[in-house]
Chains A and B, each alone.
Chain A
């Protein structure tokens, strides 16, 4: 395996520095929210986590389509990396959301549109990993994985839509139209907005770094698999 390229080494350092800066901004720069006080601070990283989860979700779906068109194992590695990153970041999103919801909504969990969709998305990812585990042939594993990511990518928006038709949301919509029924909604001061966008940028950088590392790991795993095949 080749050593890490310089760009990746730079990204490692930049990601850590950005994260520290974002943390500093959340606690020192962004003003306290009037009613929620410190509880609202988790919002910046919650949104940033969800953003990375979405990036991973889209990257996985695109990689799945490209794999089926090109039949190149490279895209399978990219797809798996995207799914794993998205899985972890959506779990963090759900956990940070629960921590926020306990004091604000007075419950850890509610079967709200976003919460339920995020959970179902996690179930699809876990099913995806179980599916891959059950297949030895790398080519078939890649094909089935790509097909399942595409099916999942189509079904998740429909799930979101169908739960939305059924129930009114209490999840705050901070960006875009304000929702009358939402609980815990607030108007953002300019410093808050800037902090949020900085957190989004930071997590995007972290996403790229992790993605790159995970793809390198996938390439290593592929080499090991090929060596094993040659051995026997």
Chain B
């Protein structure tokens, strides 16, 4: 009797936020030890910038127009690499099954993975921005641009995490994620490129605000949608 009471008093299910925190901590510490995801994303991102350099012949005039586009194309491409890898690791070693067995709300897994993917993405962006600034002698340290990058990355990762957890469970998983993801994140890319170029050209805030609002709307809608459907994606 005493024993049963003890079990009943002992909470078997951790709180939602501690579960989210545990998943983020797991991802970050695993990455700190292996560094395979971040290094791949970073090298890939720099290669994309390099390719754009030769593809577009970035002289001063072209740069002014093309910089926001190049940045967002780079983030989008490098992002799929990270999203795919982050989910493939879970699937390959059977970690996802372990996570699903844990007595926590499934959406905690979604938010945990989303936040750690967001962290990886922001780290890559934080490295690419100064390198781009140095390589092309362009000042990218603009508070507005940083807000845009933050909002854009949140939306991108929110959809990307959901779709990558679908993509890794298919036969064609290595090629599927970008095909699923890109047509759906086009609003983010449109709004982010427009807002970034607005801030870099020093436009008035009222001219840039529609795009910022669009990014916020997209983020809110897709986080809510992904939260609602994630259960169906990991259900067995």
Contact = CB atoms under 8 A, between A and B. Distances in A.
B183 A124 contact: yes
A134 B171 CA distance: 5
A147 B190 contact: no
A47 interface: no
Contacts of A155: 183-187, 222
Given A68-B229, A162-B190, A154 B183 contact: no
B127 interface: no
Interface residues of B, number: 34
Given A133-B172, A144-B166, A68 B222 contact: no
B146 interface: no
Interface stretch (B36-44, B65-73, B213-221): B213-221
Contact of B170 (A124, A131, A163): A131
Contacts of B49: none
Interface string B190-209: 11001000000000000000
Interface string A138-154: 00100110111011101
Given A130-B176, A147-B233, 17 more contacts: A126-B179, A127-B180, A131-B180, A134-B176, A135-B169, A146-B232, A148-B163, A150-B225, A151-B163, A151-B222, A155-B183, A155-B185, A159-B190, A161-B214, A162-B214, A165-B210, A165-B211
Interface of B: 159, 162-163, 166-167, 169-173, 176, 179-180, 182-187, 190-191, 194, 210-211, 214, 217-218, 221-222, 225, 229, 232-233, 235
Interface of A: 68, 120, 123-124, 126-127, 130-131, 133-136, 140, 143-144, 146-148, 150-152, 154-155, 158-159, 161-163, 165-166
